[in-house]
Amino acid sequence: MRLLEIIAGIEHVKTFGVTNIEVTGVAYDSRKVEKGNIFICITGFKTDGHSYAKAAVDQGAVALVVERHLPEVDVSQIVVDNSRKSMAQIASAFYSHPTRKIKLIGITGTNGKTTTTYMVEKILRDAGYKTGLIGTIECRIGDEVLPQDRTTPESLDLQRLFTRMVEAGVTAVVMEVSSHAVDLMRVEACEFDVIAFTNLSQDHLDYHGTMDEYFEVKKRIFDDTSDSGVSHIINIDDKYGRRLVKPGRMNQLKYAVNEKADINADEIDLRNDGSDFVMQVNNESMPISLKMPALYNVYNALAAAGVTLAVGVGLNSVKDGLEKIERVPGRFERIDCGQDFDVVVDYAHTPDSLEKVLKAARRLTDNRLITVFGCGGDRDRGKRPLMGAVAAEVGDYIVVTSDNPRSEDPERIIDDILDGMRGLEEESFEVTIDRRKAIRNAILKAKKGDFVVVAGKGHETGQEVAGKKMPFDDVLVVKEILKEIV
């Protein structure tokens, strides 16, 4: 592709140097530049890509995309306002707009994204689509699992991934869209067919500052597509969801349990091992029997139904897919080694999700609810006392421990959590910093009929302590301990 063709497709302020040159590829990491590449200088949080421009040119870059002209570097330069946005547009153009060749579905919201994407994938697969999945647990092309390190990859990597998917014959891709991804323009040039909003509650305020700013970022993706044919699937039991609704807009499906919506769930029966409900869509009723417990999974199922109905899947196929999906790794994952009490591992790491998962467990036992949890370091501090308060309110005994302390002192994190548990009697909780010991203490405390929830890390297989990642898997640890005692 020639540089001038690339420029034609992006908003830019000015160009310096010749543009009638061939470009062999795109890079934003100077170490990955190959001869003939265009190098995009991204202004990051820690490093500024502009300071690597010279190194990129030494490696063979023939042109730069910059936010300010670099007179000291002697290659063609395109000056843009926002190089992240340009990178997304360039990547899409360079790979011939792969998202135009697939049904692209984005799921956004604080909680429930991963679960909903799994449900959508199952429905679409069974309905005959070849699917791609991009999210927290894994990235998949059909059955092939690819390594990945973040929920939503950088735009360049994402467009490359879409291209791989198109080449593999994928017809529909369902991806989690985190608020960071929207803010950092990773999904900028993605041409979505459907976007869904699950809910919004406190998380990531270290990054976004306030809930309103957090909401504005999520809202951007709906606003940007409001005049298009993109389907919006919105949870209107959520107060932020209601603010996304555009009165009279076509291609909008609202779902709810409490409010009257386009898709509703009635006659909800939350069982120990699943949930039954009757889905109401327009004037049709469809009984659904989910294998996943908890009310929030009824919400996730409504979201998945909305998405797949918008894609054009029939209601019977929606029912089939929802009823077949067994579980999502690390989400309300029951560990049964023959013990006479319940143990569940769950990824809840926000105040809202912790409350939801504990309330779901609360309904399932008349005996004691024992909670093991901690909070991540180097992230939103404000949610720590809120999570402490939730655990104190819903549970009977709490083992406060470490999650991923990262570079923070675990004791300081725990102090923040304890701030939310003031007034709780001493015999109702303990602090055990070592997560393995904490899980062991909780399990040893459990008596017949009790319910232990190990929250926070779900599917994760490592724990980040003092900046290092050590192997740690809640599910394996629980199994090891249970096997010792059963």
Ligand X SMILES: Nc1ncnc2c1ncn2[C@@H]1O[C@H](COP(=O)(O)OP(=O)(O)OP(=O)(O)O)[C@@H](O)[C@H]1O
- Give, rounded to a whole angstrom, the gap between the first and last alpha carbons of the chain: 64
Return the range that interacts with Mg ion (CB under 5 A); candidates 126-134, 172-180, 329-337, 470-478.
172-180
Residue with smaller CB distance to ligand X, 67 or 460: 460
Residue with smaller CB distance to Mg ion, 113 or 440: 113
347 binds, among Mg ion, ligand X, none (CB under 5 to 8 A by kind): ligand X
Task: Measure the CA–CA gap between 478 and 263, rounded to whole angstroms.
Answer: 38
Task: Measure the CA–CA gap between 347 and 135, rounded to whole angstroms.
Answer: 14
Query: Is residue 234 a contact residue for ligand X (CB under 6 A)?
Result: no
Query: Is residue 40 a contact residue for ligand X (CB under 6 A)?
Result: no
Strand partners, 429: 398
Task: Measure the CA–CA gap between 405 and 303, rounded to whole angstroms.
Answer: 33
Query: Is residue 254 a contact residue for Mg ion (CB under 5 A)?
Result: no
Of 28, 277, 347, 397, the one binding ligand X (CB under 6 A) is: 347
Query: Is residue 348 a contact residue for ligand X (CB under 6 A)?
Result: yes
Q: What is the crossing angle of helices 155-167 and 83-94, to 10°?
A: 20
Residue with smaller CB distance to Mg ion, 113 or 219: 113
Spatial contact of 75 and 57, defined as CB atoms under 8 Å apart: yes
Cα 76–29–170 angle (5° rounding)?
105
Residue with smaller CB distance to ligand X, 188 or 203: 203
Of 129, 162, 255, 296, the one binding ligand X (CB under 6 A) is: 296
Shortest CA distance to 425 belongs to which of 469, 456, 464, 395? Answer: 395
Residue with smaller CB distance to ligand X, 166 or 325: 325
Return the range that interacts with ligand X (CB under 6 A); candidates 90-98, 162-170, 212-220, 346-354.
346-354
Spatial contact of 84 and 185, defined as CB atoms under 8 Å apart: yes
296 binds, among ligand X, Mg ion, none (CB under 5 to 8 A by kind): ligand X
Of 76, 353, 401, 432, the one binding ligand X (CB under 6 A) is: 353
* String marking each residue 128-147 x if it binds ligand X according to CB under 6 A: --------x-----------
Cα 222–223–224 angle (5° rounding)?
90
Cα 295–308–317 angle (5° rounding)?
90
Query: Is residue 200 a contact residue for ligand X (CB under 6 A)?
Result: no
Residues near ligand X (CB under 6 A), total: 22
- Parallel, antiparallel or unpaired: strands 397-400 and 369-373: parallel
Return the range that interacts with ligand X (CB under 6 A); candidates 2-10, 36-44, 113-121, 188-196.
113-121
Spatial contact of 52 and 40, defined as CB atoms under 8 Å apart: no
Query: Is residue 136 a contact residue for Mg ion (CB under 5 A)?
Result: yes
Query: Is residue 346 a contact residue for ligand X (CB under 6 A)?
Result: yes
Cα 169–170–173 angle (5° rounding)?
165
Of 193, 262, 342, 352, the one binding ligand X (CB under 6 A) is: 352
- Residue 431 sits at φ, ψ, to 5 deg, of -115, 120
Residue with smaller CB distance to ligand X, 277 or 296: 296
Tokens at residue 93, please?
């153009």
Return the range that interacts with ligand X (CB under 6 A); candidates 75-83, 167-175, 246-254, 348-356.
348-356
Q: For residue 211, what are the contacts with CB-CB under 8 A and spacing of at least 6?
A: 200, 202, 205
Of 84, 97, 103, 113, the one binding Mg ion (CB under 5 A) is: 113
Footprint of ligand X on 366-405 (CB under 6 A): none
Binding site residues, ligand X, CB under 6 A: 111-115, 136, 151, 176, 198-199, 296, 299-300, 331, 346-348, 352-353, 356-357, 458
Binding site residues, Mg ion, CB under 5 A: 113-114, 136, 176
